[in-house]
Each structure stands twice: as structure tokens, then as C-alpha cells.
Homo-oligomer: A and B are copies of this chain.
Amino acid sequence: MYKIEVINIGDELLLGLRHNTHLDYLGAQFALCGQKIWRARVVNDSVSEIQRAVADAWQQADLVITTGGLGPTSDDLTREAVAQQLGLELCFDATVLSAIQARFDRLGFALTEQHKKQCYVFKQGAVLRNDFGTAPGLYYEDGRRCLVMLPGPPRELLPMFEQQVLARLVASQRLSQQTYFLQLRTCGYGESELEALVEPIVAPYPSLKVAFCVHDALVDLRLSAERKEFSQGQLKAIGAHIVDRLGASFVGFGEDSLAQVIYRALRKANRTVAVAESCTGGMLGNAFTDVPGISKVFQGGVICYTNEVKASLLSVPDALLQQHGAVSSECAIAMATGAAERMSADYGLSITGYLGPGGGDAANPLGTVHLGFTGPEGVWSQSVRFKGGRAELKSRAVVAALDWMRRELLRAGLI
């Protein structure tokens, strides 16, 4: 097994101040190459911790990737710490300095002494050009092992990894493809229900690895198999069998979001959608507009935090709001139809509810959400209830709305 270890450096990652997006990103990139990250660690900005982690990784892993700690400020100590630990020599690279100088001239910034620290590179290694920032990445390999040091800011790290690191790893045959992965995204079953459902299908294949991952209300099912034991066709056949059992709860293969699945269906049918949301406050629209190309099918949305906005922008009748209240099936339907009509869309999707911290009553306690959906096939509402904090409730309500629309499009034969 080829062992990839990631070391993310930075106090902020241990203090709850910043998500470790690098690990997510690198994990996904290696998965695309059929590789898994073996293990990862997060260490603080101290020389001794960085050295301890690098020494340990260098002993046990085949490929060691560090992120962060290459910047100009004084809490960035990684370059020196690693060089010292691995007995590598740092030398000043004038090419790096001129690249930084050129970048700063272009941006109209002044170069400070601090930035010169970033010009020190491993004498025995290669320099990874930074097209979107100042600190270059560093690349070093001995016969067996390889060390890659990447800068912290994602907009610098991502292109550097994709354009330079992957090419080097493939060229030096450090990335081979030994494992097949197949991911099935599901919505509707809990983790253990899903396991019970797939158990009889996968039982005949003890060497097939089955894993589950829950996020929001989605559960991903991941099948992985060694190439020497399974053909890609076999894995696909097992996947197809599971898809069959999942029925409408199968969202798609891979990483497609619910909004992406809806997008593709609408694009194919040449239909459009508009949204109206109160308590989710833009998150539903945001989920749609995270999909590249969505402007072909997404007309727009109304975030209606007041009754007045519901009436004026979505034509929800005042009488309806008086009689049923803003958190009601009736209002959800009026919002969905209002959104579709006012924004000339074929489909309207709406969310209204109490997600806290205040609000809620006996009929509609905190966490109650009414969804509305309208389209050429009809008009419906649905009520759901969730528990959790504000952020979780928002996210669950959005998933519920999107999954419902997906199921309705499926029922209508559009997916």
C-alpha cells in the first residue's frame, strides 16, 4: 500500500478558527487518482511539533504533503523546521525573489524584508511556482519517498497542486491506480437502514469494502475494491444492483449535489425554476447557484423575511397570511406559485418555517418547516420537522426541499 500522509500546519486549525479545507481537497484529488490518504495530522505553529510530525511521517509514509506555514509572517516557521529536521539545505533563490517582485509591481505593493524569507528553497529539491501568491511550494524526493510543501491559501494551493504536483507525481510513477471506487449518493435512508438494505447484495463479496458517510440528510455509500480482485464491470454491476434496490432514494453516482441533479433534469426538459424562502434566508438559492451553468434554468428567488415582502414580491394574499399565518402549508404553496409566476418559471419551490432562536407555537413548534412546490404536474405542500441549531435546521430544510423537488421530477419522468 502506498502511504500518503498529510500534515496541516497552523494554530488556527486547532483553535476552531478555520476549517481545514486542504484535507478535504487533497483527499478528493487523490481519490480521483484511485488513491487514499493514509492518515493526516494537524499541528500547531511550533518548530518542535512540526519537526516531530515531519520526522514521523518521513519514517512511515511514502508521500508527505505539508500545507501552510510558508507565508511571510513570523508565525510561519515550517520551511526552516523541516529543512533542519530532514537535514536539507536551504538556499536563497533569486528567481523566486524576482517573481515576487514582479507580482508586487503589478499589484502596486511594496516588497518588505519579510517576503525574502519566502525565497529560501531546498538546495536538493525543486521549486513549485506560485502563480497566485508569493510563497513558492517546495518539492523534494529521495529514492523512495517524496515531500511536497504547499502554501496555505487555497487559491494558491489548488492550482499549484493540480498543475504542478500531480504532474510530478505521475511522472515519477508515485501515483498508480490500484483501487476502484464507486460512490452512490442517497437521500431518504438512515445509515443503518441503508446498511441493512445493501447487506444482502454485498455479502457474497467479502473483499469488497463498503463504507458509509452521512452529511446533512444525505448518506453516501462507498464501494471500493482492489483491481486485482474485481473488474470495473463487476463493481459497476454490484452498484447497479444497489441502485435498483434504492429506488427513488438514489441521488446519483459520485459527488453530485441535489441541486446538480435537478439542474440536469431541468436543462434536458428545457424548463426553469424559481424559489421563495423565508427561514432559510438565501441558502436554497445559494445551493442552486453553486451549480455551474445554473443560469440556464434558474430564474431567481425571493428571500421573504417579512409578510410585506411575501405580499408585494410573491403576491401572497394578505387574507391568506391573516388566516393561516406565514408558517403554514397554505403560505408555502402561495410562495411557490408566486415565485413561479412572478419570475416566469415552470417550477416554483418554497420554504417557510420557524428555525429559531425565537418563534414557533403549538401547531408549528421550532424546527417546523413547510415546503411548497408547483409545476406543470401540479401543486403540493409538505411539512417536515427537524431538531438542531439554527445552522443545521437551515441546511436540513434546504436538503428536504431539494430532495422533494428531485423526487417529484423523478416521478414526472424527467430524471
**Chain B: minimal CB distance from A234 (Å):** 21
Which residues from chain B contact A390 at a C-beta distance below 8 Å? 290, 292
Q: Which of B21, B45, B305 contacts A299 (CB 8 A)?
A: B305
- Chain A at the B interface: mostly helix, strand, loop or mixed? mixed
Q: With A and B bound together, what is the CA distance between A14 and B30 in angstroms? A: 9
**Chain B: minimal CB distance from A326 (Å):** 11
Q: Which of B43, B301, B309 contacts A303 (CB 8 A)?
A: B301
Q: Of residues A284, A300, A356, which shows the largest number of chain B Cβ atoms within 10 Å of its Cβ?
A: A300
A8-56 CB contacts (< 8 Å) to partner B: 10-21, 23-31, 36-45, 49, 53
Which residues from chain B contact A16 at a C-beta distance below 8 Å? 23-31
**Chain B: minimal CB distance from A36 (Å):** 6
Cβ-based interface call for A362 (8 A): no
Which residues from chain B contact A357 at a C-beta distance below 8 Å? 292-293
**Chain B: minimal CB distance from A57 (Å):** 11
When the two chains form their complex, are residues B305 and A211 in contact, meaning their CB atoms are under 8 A apart?
no
Cβ-based interface call for A132 (8 A): yes
The stretch from A91-99, A214-222, A370-378 touching chain B is: A214-222
* With contact pairs A13-B27, A14-B39, A343-B313 given, residues A285 and B303 touching in the complex (Cβ less than 8 Å): yes
When the two chains form their complex, are residues B27 and A71 in contact, meaning their CB atoms are under 8 A apart?
no
Which residues from chain B contact A29 at a C-beta distance below 8 Å? 16
Q: Which of B38, B42, B356 contacts A44 (CB 8 A)?
A: B38
Which residues from chain B contact A389 at a C-beta distance below 8 Å? 155, 158
When the two chains form their complex, are residues A302 and B305 in contact, meaning their CB atoms are under 8 A apart?
no
* With contact pairs A75-B212, A286-B286 given, residues A308 and B36 touching in the complex (Cβ less than 8 Å): no
Q: List 7 A-B contacts (CB under 8 A).
A: A14-B40, A19-B21, A39-B49, A45-B211, A281-B285, A283-B289, A302-B303
